[in-house]
Structure 1
Amino acid sequence: MERAREELELDLGEFEVALQLAELRTVPTGAGRRKVPYAEVERLRAEEAFPQALRRRVAVVGSVDGSELIGISRDRFAKLAKGGLISPVRWYANRYRAVVWLYLADDVRRFARDHPGLLTGRLPADLREALAEGEDHRARSWRARRAAGFLRQAADGWSEAAVWAELLGPEATAQTVPDLYERTYLRRLRPGFPPGGTGSHAPREVVEATVVADHPDEIAAARARLTEALDRARAERAAPHPEPPPEPPPELSPGRRPEPPPGPQPEAQALPFAQEPPGRSAPPVGPASAQVPDPDPERRGWRRLLRRR
């Protein structure tokens, strides 16, 4: 990834937007990582007016620069974005922990070209009513755009299901996916919605409020898509499950000896100091002269010599 960014002469933010917009194709390399084929780098470098043309396609603007780009006020630009007419492509949290939305410059120009009537005069009545009720579609529009980018890169049904599980969050996912091992597998495959876009000042509650679906229609649609993706994923293969523990040996009743395994049994070997079985009395031990003589004459001679010494 780093070498591809250097070859394309993009900064880190421009490169992340290029990946998000699928300006250059990536391939998986295992362990959740991806790389850029060199053919993609050569294709972009061969374009006319490289790298200015590529930078223009991935350039982003805030609400101030975006309003100046199409000649409207910042307040009107914010109302159009809150109404879902201009979708943000990135976001970060500033030092005051407020979310700052960034928009694709080409999208802003395209909106001004396609909807010139919304740049001047009064806004439509339905849009004014929605804004008066406090509706704000910026986070929802960003989530939809981000999910669409990840779905284009999904390799199978499990990867697609992981995108919808990331959008729903852990609580709603647990209600839709009751199997613990399937949820664990989806967490391993989750793409991570805010890579490089949250900054260093975003608290956890701000991140969760931005990346997790909160609108009832959005949640219902994501659950339906998650269920469909899971049906396809289970048909492809099951989620990894741990190996079952080995069965314990059967318990023996007191006084019962274990039965030998089937098959030929090895011959019993005599132990060098075998004890007498219970119930049989040991032979009486008397003086040395009364003991049974050793049948080996050589050993008997050695014993006599040792006694004399």
Structure 2
Amino acid sequence: MNSSLRKVALVGGSGHLGPSILQALQSDPTTFDVTVISRHSSQALFPPSTKVLRVSDDYPPDEMVSAFRGHDAVVLSLNFAAEFQHHSALVDASIEAGVKRLIPSVWAGRIDVAEAREIFPLAAVKYGVLEYVRRRAVECEGWSWTSVSTGLFSDLCLETNFYGLDPSTHTAKIWGDGTAKFSATTHDSIGLAVAAILKSHPAETKNKDVYISSFDISLNDLLAAYKSATGVSDWTINTGDVDEGIEEAKRVHATSSDVMEKMRAMGLLGLLVGLKEGLGADFTAAGVVDNEMLGVPRGDLEQAVVRALKK
């Protein structure tokens, strides 16, 4: 273990992902000393033993430098609005505070693939975030980063029917022939990966993007898991062409004045970019997956579906 990365500041300890990162770090108290950095206006609740430092809602640079000072690592788990408004300033604050390692708020898919960024605008945003981090690492000796690429957030996608499979009506939208595989990762696995990076693999992951995946799955795999979990084998199947779906979703996102319609189009682009051939969305097939190095186990898809159905 490299004890130099023991003291960790977590920005964004609530929301969808933050609690799982916090739990993974707090589950190893002999290794990690964790402080959650939370905005004054936040109503988030944390486990009773959690050290919480409150800062102003707009993350003022002087406050953030003070909040980060004395920590070995900073983990950023921000929503999209905060990433757009504050991420670069938080990166700079971690550098000024003397932090050794930053895990930026990337948590994405194959943003390194130019065509994926062209299809899915949020991938381009994430790429810009990471490019800034890379530039700062070149300029700042003693400061480093590790980004974590997760593919889709498996838990959230299952709970929101993001994949287009609706267990309440037993209907499914299958794009293409349903066999294209893409990677998705559970929140718990993401937390385990962060802990492993900071505890056991700081050297191997220095200034690198690591890839983790709980599942490398297709829509057909998901449909089979849902059929098994629900006990219903007769589902209504609708089909669609991936390329046509991408073009229509891009048109809607570019022209619609309805906010919810634009958001649905953006979500669909996030799914279809993983189904388009040649973009490396299946981390294992692309040869980039780092689960073994980090000791992050693979998941059981049917069990994950069952858990989602119980929520």
| TM-score in terms of structure 1 length | 0.28
Larger Rg: 1
Q: Of Structure 1 and Structure 2, which has the larger fraction of its residues in helix?
A: 1
Q: Of Structure 1 and Structure 2, which has the larger fraction of its residues in strand?
A: 2
Greater RCO (CA < 8 Å, at least 6 residues apart): 2
